[in-house]
Amino acid sequence: MIRPIASSLAAATELAWSSGRGRLLLRVALALMVSAMPVVVAWLTKAVLDRLATPGASLTFPVLLLALAGVGVAFLPEVTQYLEGELERAIGLIARGRLYAAIAGMPGLRRFEDPRFHDRIALATQAGPSGPSDVVGGALGGAQGLLTLTGFVATLAVLSPWMLVPVLAAGAIALNGQLRLSRYRAETIARLGQASRREFFFAQLLTSVGAAKEVRLYGLGGLFGTRMLAELRRINAGHRSLGRREVLIQGTHGILGAGVAGAGLFWAVTTARAGGLTIGDVSMFILATAGVQNGLTIVIHGVGRMHEAMLLFGHYRFVVGAEPDLPEPVAVNGSRPSVRPLTKGIELRDVWFRYGDDLPWALRGVNLTIPAGRATALVGPNGGGKSTLVKLLCRFYDPTRGAVLWDGVDLRELPVAELRRRIGTVFQDFMAYELSAAENIGVGDPAVLPADALADWERGDRARVVDAALRAGCHETLTGLPNGYETMLSRTFDPINHDDPATGVLLSGGQWQRVALARALLRDDADLLVLDEPSSGLDAEAEYEVHRRLRDHRDGRTSLLISHRLSTVRDADSIIVLSGGTVAEEGSHAALLGHGGLYARLFGLQASGYLDAPQDQVWT
């Protein structure tokens, strides 16, 4: 337990130091000044009271110093609070940047399909920006309290050494309780992480534009609202249990401290009446006793805050420091392998794959080749493994067994990022980004996008976006929008660079599909073009036009077309039928029809819907 906490403390301190050492050092200096002020005020108060009791003694200087100390007591905490806010914001900026850079840099998809990792991300998002500032704040608060405590302990030792024993004993008991409480807080937050994510999920469904139609049509508002409140009740129950424990532990410590202070006050008053203490001494004793208790409270809460923050900060460090789920190739003789242009083709050699050890095989002994410069089609029933195969080609996963080869080189021996730059893909479940139309295409090659959303586009970059839109057949649609390519494709956010929020537009499914296609076509130099159901949302005329354009674009290029509409793949050089995770058939359209197998049956079923003919007719 000690080693992880010490490691988290070092990491949090490094993060705070990176956010601005000058700001951090100033915060430390202020903490030292604030910690000294209560002791200074106590001694000055004693001096003033003792001089009041002494006839003819001058009060000007001590009163002036006491007034200045009062100004410091009033002003310094405000400055400290401002600096704490600045420090937290600066740390949060760096921490959030590192966190999401680490998440974006995770090359595979396996972690993103693990609910426990999503819990980690949620906790890391919470602990990353606030954790280091809480650690620093807790450490400085504890140090500040410790310095104040030291001053008052020395004062109390002069006036009544015996009072130190019960006061410090009560403090030790309180510190132990606070450490146990901080550990329980961290465990509670971690335990409630998934409930918090579910509550947020149901709340998002109730406000999401994408879910609005079904929520209203099916009357799901009450159901989702009930589930959201149920999760919120679970969260509240967890915090209620935590609150009760806090009341019990902290209340007990408060009663113990009050009892010690009461006994000390009784002793001081009794001793003063007997002439053993002056009025200034009694005042000093009362202030010292209160100061020791207050200092102990600050130290205890500071240590507890720091302890809790370090426990939660461990989740941030876990995500940021997570090992890649897809290992990068090892450099040989100081040089890393590179991905060469595809000249021969891509081969899947005895590929087996499943998403988990306890899950069924999605691919079973697949052997196939996608020749360079040729158009290959992949068809088959739902659940046959087509989308899984695409994920392996993009190396979102590695095969459980077997290998995927790029011109004879295993993909595991090639840099992931460089490999993906050579692939243009339209996914079946493509993203509809709530960005402008131009940006929705530009994300296909981030190099064309301005770094700042308010910055102007480079002329050449904009020309590439327009060219991709022309080839995908969506140029006319986009130029007809209220602000053309700058139109926000969202009704959730106001446009960043336009004053009129009414310019946001929602595209139809078919229009979005063309935008997604343009996104893939933006990569002119891609060696492999993967089209996973690129026309599923289009009408017949639009589908014909899109595939006509794609045929022209695919001419002489390596491409893989996946479709359930077999009429769109008949001109492919080779058609592979995938069923049950295995290659059932392979050949040209004519050859597969002549074979009379699965492809011929599926083609016949689809074609029979257009003609008055029996469904069992054999199509040739």
The reported pLDDT for the residue numbered 503 is 63
According to CATH, the topology of domain 2-320 is: ABC transporter transmembrane region fold (1.20.1560)
Cβ contacts of residue 535 below 8 Å, gap of 6+? 513, 542, 543, 546, 547, 563, 565, 568
The mean per-residue pLDDT over the stretch 501-517 comes to 81
Q: Please, what's the largest Cα pairwise distance for the chain?
A: 123
Instruction: Quote the percentage of the chain above a pLDDT of 90.
Output: 15
- Count Cβ atoms below 10 Å from residue 191 Cβ, excluding itself: 12
Contact criterion met (CB below 8 Å) for 491 and 504:
yes
Contact criterion met (CB below 8 Å) for 604 and 619:
yes
Most confident among 141-150, 246-255, 396-405, 535-544 (mean pLDDT): 396-405
Cβ contacts of residue 338 below 8 Å, gap of 6+? 414, 415, 418
Query: 3-state DSSP call for residue 537?
Result: coil
Contact criterion met (CB below 8 Å) for 123 and 311:
no
The mean per-residue pLDDT over the stretch 179-191 comes to 80
Cβ contacts of residue 208 below 8 Å, gap of 6+? none
CATH topology agreement for domains 2-320 and 430-524: no
Structure tokens of 190?
A: 């971690």
Q: Which of 131, 144, 125, 100 shows the shortest CA–CA distance to 12? A: 131
The mean per-residue pLDDT over the stretch 134-148 comes to 69
The reported pLDDT for the residue numbered 345 is 93
More confident residue, 587 or 212: 587
Cβ contacts of residue 115 below 8 Å, gap of 6+? 194
Least confident of 392-406, 544-558, 565-579: 544-558
The reported pLDDT for the residue numbered 141 is 67
Under DSSP, the state recorded for 619 is P
The span from the CA of 464 to the CA of 449, in Å, is 11
Cβ contacts of residue 429 below 8 Å, gap of 6+? none
Burial-class residue 338 by CB neighbours within 10 Å (0-12, 13-18, 19+): exposed
DSSP sequence for 202-246: HHHHHH-HHHHHHHHHTT-HHHHHHHHHHHHHHHHHHHHHHHHHH
Beta bridge pairs of residue 332: 335
Burial-class residue 35 by CB neighbours within 10 Å (0-12, 13-18, 19+): buried
More confident residue, 581 or 503: 581
Write out the H or E segment, with its range, that includes residue 75: helix 60-104
The span from the CA of 199 to the CA of 436, in Å, is 30
Burial of 407-420, coded b for 16+ CB within 10 Å and e otherwise, reads beeebeebebeebb
Query: 3-state DSSP call for residue 355?
Result: coil
Contact criterion met (CB below 8 Å) for 178 and 304:
yes
Beta bridge pairs of residue 369: 347
The reported pLDDT for the residue numbered 619 is 42
pLDDT at 349 over 80: yes
Beta bridge pairs of residue 436: 488
The span from the CA of 504 to the CA of 499, in Å, is 11
Domain residue ranges of the chain, discontinuous segments joined by +: 2-320, 342-422+526-620, 430-524
The mean per-residue pLDDT over the stretch 375-400 comes to 91
Is the torsion defined by CA of 167, 169, 172, 177 positive or negative? Answer: negative
Query: What pLDDT digit, counting tens, does each position of 566-608 carry?
Result: 888 888 889 999 999 999 999 998 999 988 889 889 888 887 7
Q: Which of 383, 379, 392, 400 shows the shortest CA–CA distance to 583? A: 379
Please report, to the nearest 10 degrees, the dihedral formed by the alpha carbons of residues 342, 344, 350, 353 taken in order: 20
pTM: 0.74
pLDDT at 102 over 70: yes
According to CATH, the topology of domain 342-422+526-620 is: Rossmann fold (3.40.50)
Least confident of 129-133, 149-153, 363-367, 589-593: 149-153
Under DSSP, the state recorded for 579 is E
pLDDT at 413 over 70: yes
- One-letter amino acid at 399 equals P
Structure tokens of 146?
A: 């410790």
The mean per-residue pLDDT over the stretch 328-333 comes to 69
Q: What is the CATH number of domain 430-524?
A: 3.40.50.300
Cβ contacts of residue 615 below 8 Å, gap of 6+? 604, 605, 608
Query: 3-state DSSP call for residue 376?
Result: strand
Structure tokens of 151?
A: 């001053």
Burial of 449-459, coded b for 16+ CB within 10 Å and e otherwise, reads beeeeeeebee
Write out the H or E segment, with its range, that includes residue 586: strand 582-587
Residue 572, φ and ψ in degrees, nearest 5:
-65, 150
